Amino acid sequence: MKNFKLYIQTYGCQMNVYDSDKMVDILSAKMNIKVTDKESDADILLMNTCSIREKAQEKVFSELGRWRKLKVANPNLIIGVGGCVASQEAEKIHQRAPSVDIVFGPQTLHHLPKMVNAIISKKEKITDISFDPIKKFDQLPTPGKTGPSAFVSIMEGCSKFCSFCIVPYTRGPEISRSVEDVLLEVNHLLSLGAKEIHLLGQNVNNYKSEFQGELFNLAALIRLVASMKGVERIRFTTSHPAVFDDSLVEAYKDVPQLPNYLHLPIQSASDRILMDMKRGYSQLDYRQIISKLRKVRPNISISSDFIVGYPGETSNDFEQTLKLVEQLNIDHSYSFIYSPRPGTPASFKEDNVSLEEKKSRLNTLQKLIQSNAFKISQSMVGTVEQVLITGYSSKSKEDLAGKTGNNRTVNIKGDSHLIGEMVDCEITKANLNSLNGQILEYVV
């Protein structure tokens, strides 16, 4: 069988990172595949795309322009475009980038081996962007390798249709994966050395699946995963405030593997804007969730997503967001300027906040969150944290780097055999974007 060198370029969220790993797994199961990190060496180039904002989408076409030149030099090169832009703009991709052979969606990546073979034999362009997540899950082979932290997809798609968001159109309706499937994958990842399991989906706290005659929600699934031998930390992304119920607060009380960290996107603290966004909760609802969590986990770090400059956002709306960030001591954010997405309800509204104002609001918000984060980091100095050692420090190959429960990078002196282990570590210094630490003990 011929050997193929595969290069994958991944944009977008953790779901896309997970899907790209699956593309490698599924192609490797059917063909002789070697992953390369050099585009010019590859026989197959795949791009896993994101369309959450206009900038992300435009990047796809500029990168495809570069890939076209590689195809001119090597006419047998196979180019595939997957992910969310592919799902929404399939025909446009074939029109604007004729060097592309395959356009596939997030739910059809399991057809990749068949599509690649068809291109080799027939050289006719292929488009396959249907929504069939259950088939996708059923046909994915078990992963070949993992790092200390492993993603596991527990649901696909989104049915919430927030006014600004493209995801429900690109990923299809929300569907939960079966408990059995999730457990099998977790088990396999543990056997490969994973210590942290990161459950993924657009609204993971809406997870619902029947298992052994009972209905499992996210909290029940977390408890089940926590009971598996070798699971040292459990993360889950993304939760939605409208469906964040007390069972998860209880899980934070009882499950030690849940770190002091929660990513809970609010988008805006103005009720008027939240209503217009169709988010399904108020500022008060959000505050209540955080207050309940802090009763059981006083030091929990809260991370959030924000959109600034949503149509009609006044300076008063924005002030409310700033106030909430300050009062709830939000530690981290993914915050962006509003970007109209074609076909979404918000895109029909006048995009009436000036770019200058949007940039200034974003800057103010991010500065405030950075300042909260630095104060939180400083308060961690002298405390003992569990740190999952993920590799070498980016600053020096002499040092190791790891992650605290509240998702901070810690640089630590230590031997390379600790990579992949959870260690107790005293925090010795807070820097702007990282911590320094010292390992307390490690039992072999």
51 is a site residue for ligand F3S (CB under 6 A): yes
Helix, strand, coil content of the chain in percent (nearest 5)? 40, 25, 35
339 is a site residue for ligand SAH (CB under 6 A): yes
Residues sharing a CB contact under 8 Å with residue 132, sequence separation 6 or more, in sequence order = 107, 108
- Amino acid in position 412: I
Among the residue ranges 45-53, 62-70, 222-230, 316-324, the one whose residues contact ligand F3S (CB under 6 A): 45-53
The partner in contact with residue 231, picked from ligand SF4, ligand F3S, ligand SAH, none with C-beta cut-offs of 5 to 8 angstroms by kind, is: none
267 is a site residue for ligand SAH (CB under 6 A): yes
Residue 83 or 309 with smaller CB distance to ligand F3S: 83
Minimum distance, C-beta of residue 372 to ligand SF4, in the bound complex (Å) = 23
The tokens of 224 are what?
């089940």
Minimum distance, C-beta of residue 389 to ligand F3S, in the bound complex (Å) = 28
Residue 239 or 411 with smaller CB distance to ligand SF4: 239
Q: What is the DSSP string of 166-224?
A: -HHHHH-S-EEPPHHHHHHHHHHHHHTT--EEEEE-TTGGG--EEETTEEE-HHHHHHH
CB 130 within 8 A of CB 105: yes
Residue 88 or 257 with smaller CB distance to ligand F3S: 88
207 is a site residue for ligand SAH (CB under 6 A): no
* Cα 396 to Cα 271: distance, rounded to the nearest angstrom: 47
Minimum distance, C-beta of residue 246 to ligand F3S, in the bound complex (Å) = 28
The partner in contact with residue 51, picked from ligand F3S, ligand SF4, ligand SAH, none with C-beta cut-offs of 5 to 8 angstroms by kind, is: ligand F3S
Residues sharing a CB contact under 8 Å with residue 67, sequence separation 6 or more, in sequence order = 39, 45, 47, 79, 99
Residue of the chain from 250, 285, 305, 424 that contacts ligand SAH (CB under 6 A): 305
203 is a site residue for ligand SF4 (CB under 6 A): yes
**Within 13 Å and on the Cβ side, how many CA atoms surround 146?**
23
165 is a site residue for ligand SF4 (CB under 6 A): yes
Q: Which residues bind ligand F3S (CB under 6 A)?
A: 12-13, 15-16, 50-52, 83-84, 166-167, 170-171
